[in-house]
Amino acid sequence: SAVISQKPSRDICQRGTSLTIQCQVDSQVTMMFWYRQQPGQSLTLIATANQGSEATYESGFVIDKFPISRPNLTFSTLTVSNMSPEDSSIYLCSVQDRGIYNEQFFGPGTRLTVL
């Protein structure tokens, strides 16, 4: 399976600022995704990061709040903009290769605390 790294692993940020999270994969993958796990909650898909085009956002998530880039098949970034304490979560990227039916592999996550 692909090896996925995320930077930063954790951060504490002030309200109103923005943080960009990086996701790097050691091989080219077709699909990359961004998830959020709020405290005590399940993992929720934010968006699909599409290479060379705009990300596809799930209901309840918008590009202005969570801009995403995917310049190539091994790298993506998620920005959490204009943060509030409600954005305190673990943010995870995942990848899926079309040859492996529905099985996604996750990065270690970025633990974000907003004060």
Q: Is 92 in the site for other proteins (CB under 8 A)?
A: yes
Residue 85: helix, strand or coil by DSSP?
Answer: helix
Distance CA 13, CA 32 (A): 25
Distance CA 18, CA 4 (A): 23
> Hey, which residues between 41 and 80 contact other proteins (CB under 8 A)?
41-45, 48
Q: Is 105 in the site for other proteins (CB under 8 A)?
A: yes
Nearest distance from residue 43's CB to other proteins, in Å?
4
Q: Is 89 in the site for other proteins (CB under 8 A)?
A: no
Give the one residue of 31, 50, 61, 65 binding other proteins; rule: CB under 8 A: 31
Binding range to other proteins, per CB under 8 A, among 13-21, 61-69, 74-82, 105-113: 105-113
CA distances, 88 to each of 3, 9, 95, 106, 110 (Å): 25, 14, 23, 19, 10
Counting Cβ atoms within 10 Å, is residue 52 exposed (0-12), middle (13-18) or buried (19+)? Answer: exposed
Indicate the residue among 46 and 80 with the shorter CB distance to other proteins: 46
Q: Which amino acid is at 15?
A: R
Site residues, other proteins (CB under 8 A) = 1, 4, 9, 31, 33, 40-45, 48, 92, 94, 96, 98, 101-109, 111
